[in-house]
Homo-oligomer: A and B are copies of this chain.
């Protein structure tokens, strides 16, 4: 077993190294080619300025969103498992920060944001070409495509070309979006905590990112077939400000499939499996709240009034979620718990995510409370009824509130908040007489079915190839030692 695994690891690793080195070293060449291939009809690059305030905010937001995965989610999740698996959960988060970042740079970003084809991005941004800076001779300048910022150099004709996305460098856009590509798969880890093989997890997530996340992201944000008001968009397209469908539905329903296919933890249902360190979970939840300001506020892609409004919806959604969940516990069980407040705030946050740029901050309170209440029901009643082991309630929290939140966009969205370039000044949500709710419901369905299907197929294939689960002995021993050879705490 050991040597087999070792060889496998070796194989993957070498593959990665070789491919990457090849690509990276070729990238300059590719860049030149790519440029030569540009359409001559475009006369001169379209110059735009960088807004330093916008750039400052989106860079800050990018840092905040990375912080959500590590240490935020890592703490939130690792506190909930048993002590013997604490490191395995942290490792999943931290290693995914590494792997998904590289996959994004190499292939993910271009699949999600390259061109505006309906189904999937093109390869224009492969290996960050056309994203990172270029040094361009005057003769080739006319071939530079898209919005750019030009930095001239005294006494030299050639010019530094900075590809732009709105008022910020495209690199900033790529970074910010890349942080979503990390946290979304990391969320899924909660479903199969304490039993999935690390190697299978890594492979699954790489593929899931490219085959589930990138298409969804392209459809909804990258100019694809669900773009709101886009020509030929399905059901008129959808409003999903910061990832109700792209992030939470996709990860939530995939998590459910994982939980079902990978099976329950040994002893689930018979043995107690209480959180080993609720203080970590609480710290993690607080960090998620803070980081989510970047997640949602940054999704305005500028430091404008929309960012402020999205920030406010986020804040009130989290607040109301915490009160609602802990409140239900207080009423139904007599005691509000820390885990309740933390689960509720995360549910509130996940729930408002889709809505943040479209609804009034004061409505954030209602939306957050509704989402958290739905999740409370899902995690306490529904889950117990069906008996699946979605260990850290990824579906119960993210899946459910993603669905509820996406739906509520159709109710509460208002042109008083929404970017007029998006709303076109037309009424949006039911409350102001709009009818975007059909597009919202269609998107919920599409995102769910698509994620379920691809996840199912991926897991089946990986199960056949390398197996998804550690051995029974390893599971009893704990993944910290069996998968990583370490111990979490040596406090004696």
Asked if B365 and A322 make an inter-chain contact with CB atoms under 8 angstroms apart, the answer reads no
- Decide if B363 touches A24 in the complex (CB within 8 Å): yes
* Chain B minimum-CB-distance residue to A167: B52
Shortest distance between the CB of A261 and any CB in chain B (Å) = 24
User: Is residue A51 within 8 Å, beta carbon to beta carbon, of the partner chain?
Assistant: yes
Q: Which residues of B contact A196 (CB under 8 A)?
A: none
CB < 8 Å neighbour of A362 from B93, B99, B127, B277: B127
Contact A308 B169 (CB under 8 A): yes
User: Judging by beta carbons under 8 Å apart, are B365 and A290 in contact?
Assistant: no
* A289→B320 contact, CB < 8 A: no
Complex interface: chain B residues within 8 A of A336 (CB): 9, 91, 95, 198, 484
Q: Does A476 contact B (CB under 8 A)?
A: no
Residue A260 lies at the interface, judged by CB distance under 8 Å to chain B: no
Closest to A334 in B: B6
B24 and A365: CB pair below 8 A?
A: yes
Please tell me if the beta carbons of A488 and B279 are within 8 angstroms of each other in the complex. Answer: yes
Q: Which of A63-71, A229-237, A393-401 forms contacts with chain B?
A: A63-71
- Stretch among A37-45, A416-424, A439-447, A450-458 lining the B interface: A416-424
Contacts A98-B318, A98-B323 hold; do A51 and B50 have CB atoms under 8 A apart? no
Q: How far is the CB of A152 from chain B (nearest CB, A)?
A: 7
The answer, yes or no, to whether A309 is at the interface (CB within 8 Å) is yes
A 456-477 to B, binary, CB cutoff 8 A, 1 in contact else 0: 0000000000000000000000
Determine if A215 is an interface residue (Cβ-Cβ < 8 Å): no
Give per-residue flags for A281-312: 1 if the beta carbon is below 8 A from chain B beta carbons, else 0: 01101110110011001000011110111011
- Residue among A64, A74, A323 with most chain B CB within 10 A: A323
Residues of chain B lying within 8 A (CB to CB) of residue A305: 50, 133, 149, 151, 162, 169, 171
> Which of B25, B98, B277, B286 is within 8 Å of A71, CB to CB?
B286
A residues 309-340 near B (Cβ < 8 Å) are: 309, 311-312, 315-316, 318-323, 326-327, 330-331, 333-339
Tell me if A308 and B86 are in contact (CB < 8 A): no
A135, B415: Cβ atoms under 8 Å?
yes
> For the complex, is A56 an interface residue (Cβ under 8 Å from B)?
yes
Residues of B within 8 A of A97 (CB): 286, 289, 318-319, 322, 345
A24 adjacent to B308 (CB under 8 Å): no
Nearest Cβ in chain B — how far from A310, in angstroms? 10
Q: Which residues of B contact A98 (CB under 8 A)?
A: 318-323, 326, 341, 344-345
At the interface with chain B, which of A12-20, A218-226, A247-255? A12-20
For residue A269, CB closer than 8 A to chain B, the reply is no
CB distance from A154 to the nearest CB of B (A): 8
Q: How far is the CA of A95 from the CA of B336 in the complex (A)?
A: 10
Residues 395-416 of A contacting B (Cβ, < 8 Å): 414-416
Given A94-B342, A101-B315, A315-B101, A55:B279 Cβ within 8 A: no
A54 / chain B contacts, CB cutoff of 8 Å? 52-53, 56
Interfacial chain B residues near A162, Cβ < 8 Å = 305
Q: CB distance B20 to A312 under 8 Å?
A: no
CA–CA, A369 to B192, complex, Å?
A: 29
Q: Are A6 and B488 in contact (CB under 8 A)?
A: no
Partner of A95, one of B151, B326, B331: B326
Point out the residue from B28, B94, B330, B361 that lies within 8 Å of A345, measured CB to CB. Answer: B94
In the A-B complex, the 7 residue pairs with the closest CB atoms: A52-B53, A70-B286, A156-B425, A153-B420, A98-B322, A101-B319, A53-B53
Is residue A146 within 8 Å, beta carbon to beta carbon, of the partner chain?
no
Task: Please pick, from B280, B341, B415, the residue contacting A91 in the complex, using a CB distance under 8 A.
Answer: B341
CA distance A367 to B323 in the complex (A): 40
- A and B contact pairs by CB, cutoff 8 A, 23 listed: A9-B327, A9-B334, A13-B330, A17-B369, A27-B362, A63-B290, A70-B289, A71-B282, A94-B282, A95-B322, A97-B319, A98-B344, A132-B361, A133-B416, A135-B416, A151-B419, A153-B423, A155-B424, A162-B305, A279-B488, A279-B489, A337-B485, A338-B484
Q: Which residue of B lies closest to A127 (CB)?
A: B362
A227 partner residues in chain B, CB cutoff 8 A? none
| A483 engages B335 (CB within 8 Å) | yes
Instruction: Check B490 against A94 for contact (C-beta < 8 Å).
Output: no
Q: Would A24 and B286 count as touching, CB distance under 8 A?
A: no
8 Å CB contacts to B: which residues of A360-412?
360-363, 365-366, 369
A486 at interface (Cβ–Cβ under 8 A)? yes
Indicate whether A10 reaches chain B with its CB closer than 8 angstroms. Answer: yes
Contact of A172 with B by CB under 8 A: yes
